[in-house]
Amino acid sequence: MSPLATHRLDPQPGELLDRSRPLSFTFEGNPYTGFAGDSIASALAAAGVRVFSRSFKYHRPRGILTASHLDPGCTVQVGDEPNVRAAARGLAEGMAVHAQNAWPSLRLDVRAANGVVGRFLTAGFYYKTFMAPQRLWPAYERVLGTFAPGGRMSGAVDTLAEYDQRYAHPDVVVAGGGPAGMGAALAAAQAGAEVMLVEQEHELGGHLRWGGPAELVLLQDLRAAVAAAPGIEVLLDSVVVGRFDGNWLSIVQRDLPHVEERLIKARAAALVVAPGLVERPYVFAGNDLPGVMLGTAVRRLINLYAVRPGTQAVVLTANPEGDAGVADLQRAGVEVAAVLDARRGEDLRRALGRGGVTGVETADGRRVACDTVVTSIGWTAPTSLLNMAGDRPWYDPSAARFRPSDDLPEGVLAAGGISGDGTVEELVEHGRSVGAAAAAGHGAAGRPAALPVRAHPERFRASTHGIVDYSEDVSSKDIIAAAAEGYDSSELVKRYTTATMGPSQGKLETVNTVAVLAEATGRPIADLGTTVWRPPYAPISLGALAGRVHEPVRHSPMQPWHEAHGAAQLIAGAWIRPDHYGDPQAEARGVREAVGIIDVTPLGKLDLRGPDVPKLLNLVYVNKWSKLAEGSVRYGVMCAEDGVVMDDGVTGRLGSERYLMSTTSSGAATVWEHLENWLQTEHPDWQVHVTPLTTYYASINVAGPRSRELLARVTEGIDLSPEAFPYMRVRTGRIAGVDECLMWRIGFTGELSYELHVPASYGLQAWEALLSVGADLGCAAFGVEAQRILRLEKGHLIVGQDTDGLTRAYDAALGPMVKLDKDDFVGRPELFWQEQLGEQTRLVALQPVDGTIVPAEASQIVRRNAIVGRITSSRMSPTLGRSVCLGYVEVGLAEPGTVVTVLLPDGRRIAAAVQPQLAHVDPEGERLRA
């Protein structure tokens, strides 16, 4: 325990502490106590802790600067959670808090040696030093990485469950719960609007909370009115992090009972931006020493947390809030050794000390001993949300700050301190008029005028140089150096020095950066302007963004059976499918030797009706469809307009004007949109109606030499004899007691097989019936993996597996399908030219000479060191007892018998022979047509 544990004051009127609830926690392994209501930082400050972290680049000791969310020196590790803002996070029992960037210890940071050679770490140092030679960058990166800021994560991934998402449609969102924000919410709610009042801190009130007795009375009245008002939803410990087109807002909410954070996506009719003002640090030598604080930090520590910020203070003040800080310090028993009034031209020169402040040197050369230096030198309007809405702030020298413009975009309003200055009553009143306008949906015309500003000294830097960006360790010298090197605009200096790129995203740093740049370039601040603020407004966790996923999951009606029978699940797009039931090789053998059934429900199925269906089929498929007889099915290939293979499947004619198109499982949605596109935009005169039936039917493929025998036992009203129901035909009938089932005789697996489409609600019944009546035939379920083995043995390609975004029909050995004598079809011109010029590569079947080796998919086929092809599919074939592949080779290597070299991922090179045809098994198709 620190010997200075006497910094806790007697109870203060506005304090947040519950002194009946002491909390124990540790910092750097040492035990501390605080109270419920403390922030981590306030509890440590009460115990006399002054150094919280080491700075990013120079590893200088850092303490409390703002005592708010923005505090750059108060980022800590809490247990497994990195980058916790200690001045904002509420203290909890048992927290294990550690400093970040302080290896090996906070007290002795060996990397602080950087500070000694600091002149080498000036602006652009990394760019200049580590970029060449480029081959050394990986080595540089490794070394620099150990110096990089940030905490540690365990890498556990189960925390995603702790994040939530919500959609909201409020009329008015008020960003900021200070006097103006509360006034705006109240007025909007009175006008009947549904209001979301979002406050970043743990309670409403803003700066009223550290005001005097009159402010505290007003605070209680406003809070009571907000609590009583119908239609105001108050979100505390929450922040509007982004504003996008159409007032689409992202809000991150914390302080929830069951989840860490919730991302709210809100579409608001009006956004009222009321964040108040952020106090701006002052640039002078030693301005980052522990003990140098802003006036608001001192007022927060004393009034909210009953913490005495130090024992002896020197104050530099330029405004009434700074004067109030002096009064607070005196009330808290701090000896105010000197007050320097910037309005009278008084100034600091530097803060003295090494690990913390020991005194100051004033502009007129006096030295004053103290352990605390307080500056109240000006304000920054955090206009980020307004900038995200397209507004560009303008510099008002009389107020010494940038201000929102007068013509904010429609639906976006600014209230309170961001707009101008006023008494607390005037701020509330401004909020009320803005809130009323927001609820009334006033455009620019009905918008209340901005508040006037009071005169404020324009002071940014003392005669010495100091830190401008505390998070990034950028000094005013760096900015001047950057300007001298030609980086003389706000945006360039930001990128070159990284000033304003830290966690507070410029709210503390931007205006000082611009002011120093103005000094260096001799241009006015107004001409330079600020950098553009983009989302997020405040740092947010990746968990909040990843959050809960609202994507639906699809599974077939047979899923309960699959689960009960130990199916390994395969996630295929939105679908969950059985990959296998334990032994895919045995499942494949069962199909070749007897009969198996597979759940192919995800297969896309589109009902096409109307007199012009053949025209549509002729347009979207590369082959011909005019003469498809009723009861017949045909395999078709679709290409896109660039000739690239897009999808394949069979389409059957069920009636004179009724067809059923099947697509690949993954292409179901795409093909449907594709058909609608052609019908709606190019051929609205064609009479075709497309209805997706993918989930209307449960689909089962029955495959194997005994499949006819099996189906004979469950089928009524369909003659299954090979003469009556040959290959590539479709029939409708009753299967397993279910009427209006479809049965196609097709064969992706290369076996005699039938694809059944059963109304979905009867899918499980049909599935179980097939297994039950086929038990003595050896009927068993097989999964996607066995189907992939079987189709690869047969040499049937899978679009997307054996084709990619550059594979045109001739590459994929689909040339014979392409009917260039059709006047038009999608992709025809490209395929016509490809046919004329000849393809560069071709899909072939390959067998490794050593049949025990299964080359990994995507293995390269090489000639010496040149890539001349690739393996797209490979498996061990249970039928042949050897490995089999499909792959692409340059056409010169496509001759059957050519032996090519396959480069395995482990670097080995093996030989593989090109096969005479794509099918490894039953190239004549006798099994298929049995």
Partner 1 sequence: MFQIPCPHCGLRNVAEFRHAGERRPRPDPRTATPEQWRSYLYTYDNHADWTRETWYHRLGCRRYIGVERHTVTNEIRPVS
Residues of this chain that interact with partner 1 (CB under 8 A) are: 244-246, 248, 267, 641-642, 673, 676-677, 680-682, 823-824, 828-830, 833
Q: How far is CA 310 from CA 66, 124, 335, 396, in A?
A: 15, 37, 9, 35
Q: Does a cis peptide bond (omega within 30 degrees of 0) precede residue 726?
A: no
Q: Decide: helix, strand or coil at residue 184.
A: helix
Least Å distance, CB 815 to partner 1, is: 18
Degrees to nearest 5, angle at CA 474 with 473 and 478: 145
Those residues whose C-beta lies under 8 Å from the C-beta of residue 871, and which sit 6 or more positions away, are: 846, 855, 856, 857, 858, 859, 861, 885, 886, 887, 902
Least Å distance, CB 753 to partner 1, is: 33
Backbone angles phi, psi at 561, to 5 degrees: -65, -45
Least Å distance, CB 674 to partner 1, is: 10
**E-only strand ranges, 110-194:** 163-168, 172-175
Which helix (DSSP H) or strand (DSSP E) does residue 703 occupy? strand 697-703
Least Å distance, CB 828 to partner 1, is: 5
**Nearest CA among 813, 792, 798 for reference residue 874:** 792
Least Å distance, CB 441 to partner 1, is: 15
**Nearest CA among 834, 818, 809 for reference residue 618:** 818
Q: Does a cis peptide bond (omega within 30 degrees of 0) precede residue 536?
A: yes
In the bound state with partner 1, the residue whose beta carbon lies nearer, of 245 and 685, is: 245
Q: Decide: helix, strand or coil at residue 148.
A: coil
The pairing of strands 568-572 and 232-235 is: unpaired
Least Å distance, CB 390 to partner 1, is: 8
In the bound state with partner 1, the residue whose beta carbon lies nearer, of 609 and 863, is: 609
In the bound state with partner 1, the residue whose beta carbon lies nearer, of 246 and 320, is: 246
In the bound state with partner 1, the residue whose beta carbon lies nearer, of 207 and 828, is: 828
In the bound state with partner 1, the residue whose beta carbon lies nearer, of 160 and 269, is: 269
Those residues whose C-beta lies under 8 Å from the C-beta of residue 51, and which sit 6 or more positions away, are: 61, 62, 63, 99, 106, 107, 290, 355, 356
Least Å distance, CB 823 to partner 1, is: 6
**E-only strand ranges, 216-260:** 232-235, 238-244, 248-253
Do the beta carbons of residue 424 and residue 311 sit within 8 Å?
no
Q: Is 220 left (phi over 0), alpha (psi -120 to 50) or beta?
A: alpha
Do the beta carbons of residue 914 and residue 869 sit within 8 Å?
no
Least Å distance, CB 824 to partner 1, is: 5
Q: Token pair 């000639």 is at which residue?
A: 863
Q: What is the 3-state secondary structure (H, E, C) of 433-472?
A: HHHHHHHCCCCHHHCCCCCCCCCCCCCCECCCCCEEECCC
Least Å distance, CB 838 to partner 1, is: 15
Least Å distance, CB 265 to partner 1, is: 8
Do the beta carbons of residue 581 and residue 781 sit within 8 Å?
yes
Least Å distance, CB 682 to partner 1, is: 7
Length in residues, the chain? 930
In the bound state with partner 1, the residue whose beta carbon lies nearer, of 643 and 887, is: 643
In the bound state with partner 1, the residue whose beta carbon lies nearer, of 748 and 825, is: 825
Q: How far is CA 524 from CA 20, 268, 551, 814, 839, in A?
A: 55, 37, 52, 69, 64
Sign for the pseudo-dihedral over CA of 849, 852, 853, 856:
positive
In the bound state with partner 1, the residue whose beta carbon lies nearer, of 220 and 680, is: 680
Least Å distance, CB 692 to partner 1, is: 10
373, β-bridge pairs: 292, 314
Do the beta carbons of residue 359 and residue 353 sit within 8 Å?
yes
Q: How far is CA 907 from CA 123, 865, 885, 902, in A?
A: 44, 12, 19, 10
Least Å distance, CB 843 to partner 1, is: 23
CA 70 and chain centroid, separation = 23
In the bound state with partner 1, the residue whose beta carbon lies nearer, of 83 and 165, is: 165
In the bound state with partner 1, the residue whose beta carbon lies nearer, of 147 and 833, is: 833
Do the beta carbons of residue 310 and residue 404 sit within 8 Å?
no
In the bound state with partner 1, the residue whose beta carbon lies nearer, of 544 and 711, is: 544
Do the beta carbons of residue 371 and residue 356 sit within 8 Å?
yes
In the bound state with partner 1, the residue whose beta carbon lies nearer, of 574 and 913, is: 574
Least Å distance, CB 626 to partner 1, is: 18
Least Å distance, CB 666 to partner 1, is: 16
Least Å distance, CB 554 to partner 1, is: 16
In the bound state with partner 1, the residue whose beta carbon lies nearer, of 111 and 267, is: 267
Which helix (DSSP H) or strand (DSSP E) does residue 530 occupy? none
